[in-house]
Homo-oligomer: A and B are copies of this chain.
Amino acid sequence: MHSSHERSLRAFLDRLCSRSALTVEEKQAVLDLPGTAIQVRPNRDFVPLGKRVDHSCLVVSGVVGRFKQDRDGRRQIVMLHIPGDMCDLHSVVEPVATSALQALSNATILQVPHEPIRAAAARFPALSLALWRDCMVDSAIMAEWVMNVGRRDARERVAHVLCEMAIRLGSGEQGNEVSFELPITQAHVADATALTPVHVNRTLQALRAEGLLEWKSGRVHLYQWQQLKHAAQFDPGYLFANMKPVRGGGERSAVEFHRQDASAIVVT
């Protein structure tokens, strides 16, 4: 029991540490957070719209979507969350949910109460900044999604989402090829890209026909990573993957500044 709980928190800690340098004590404070694991069914809100919550939801396994819905039933996924994401971290400072959370596949969620998170943040200012920073990466992703859904055509949109998932899941590239598990349906892709399921289907067929990808039984193969990136107009800078973790706010000496600037946030 306890070991799986700690493994889940470690995934979250790894996420934090990929962008923020933390001390041993700060890391331990994260690993010491309490939490209760729950199983959630696909396609049912586990955090409904407008709900005031007193815990954040760490995705342990599965894929989670943040949903908006209007009175006509039109749905939009505004964010996808993968294992290691604290999909609800913002609720630490703003506990009223402005979008619903729903699993897209069977998923395990670790509910981490806000109080201990706030206590740790208050005790370690650098940890507070790390959590804040994590939220800002999600924010940068949503900004990119506004662009994706607003200005790109169907082909670019679908390709872009897949490129993003490839990077966020840390899929190992082998040459020009990338592959990863993505246990979601075409209808979910439609909700994420603001297309209809029918059109997502046709778009995927076209990409498949070009030999750019394959997607069956929950596994995506991107056969021509460079070409797909280009087709999607995908520039991974906004994901802040592969960056050098920074301590505190990211302040740096003039020397460091020059040394690092050229290679900042470059992901091939």
- List chain A positions with a Cβ less than 8 A from chain B: 50, 52, 54, 66, 68, 70-71, 74-76, 78-79, 90, 92-96, 98-99, 114-115, 118, 121-122, 125, 128-129, 131-133, 135-140, 142-147, 149-152, 193-194, 233, 237-238, 240, 248-251, 257, 261, 264-265
> What are 11 A-B residue pairs whose CB atoms fall within 8 Å in the complex?
A50-B237, A70-B233, A76-B147, A76-B151, A92-B249, A95-B249, A95-B250, A96-B237, A98-B238, A114-B251, A150-B193
Q: How many monomers of this protein are in the complex? A: 2
Of B79, B115, B132, B143, the contact of A98 (CB 8 Å cutoff): B143
Chain B positions within 8 Å of A66 at CB level: 143
Q: Which 3 A-B pairs have the closest CB atoms?
A: A150-B194, A68-B147, A149-B150
Q: Are A146 and B151 in contact (CB under 8 A)?
A: no
Contact B138 A139 (CB under 8 A): yes
Tell me the dominant secondary structure on chain A's binding face. helix
Provide the bound-state CA to CA distance between A223 and B238, in Å: 40
Which residue of B75, B93, B142 contacts A133 across the interface (Cβ within 8 Å)? B93
Nearest chain B residue, comparing its CB with the CB of A74: B151
Using Cβ atoms and an 8 Å threshold, which residues of chain B touch A249?
92-93, 95, 114, 118
In the complex the two chains form, is A78's CB within 8 Å of B143's CB? yes
Residue in chain B with minimal CB distance to A114: B249
Interchain CB contact under 8 A, A143 and B79 = yes
Alpha-carbon distance A233/B76, docked complex (angstroms) = 14
- CB < 8 Å neighbour of A136 from B52, B90, B238, B265: B90
A178: min CB distance to chain B, Å? 22
- Report the bound CA distance from A52 to B76 in whole Å: 32
Instruction: Give the residues in chain B near A135, CB-CB below 8 Å.
Output: 132, 135-136, 139
> Which residues of chain B are within 8 angstroms of A68 by Cβ–Cβ distance?
143-144, 146-147, 151
Q: How far is the CA of A138 from the CA of B135 in the complex (A)?
A: 11
Q: A94-B140, A96-B237, A128-B128 are in contact. List 13 more A-B contacts (CB 8 A).
A: A52-B261, A66-B143, A93-B136, A93-B249, A94-B240, A95-B249, A96-B240, A98-B143, A121-B128, A132-B132, A135-B135, A139-B139, A145-B146
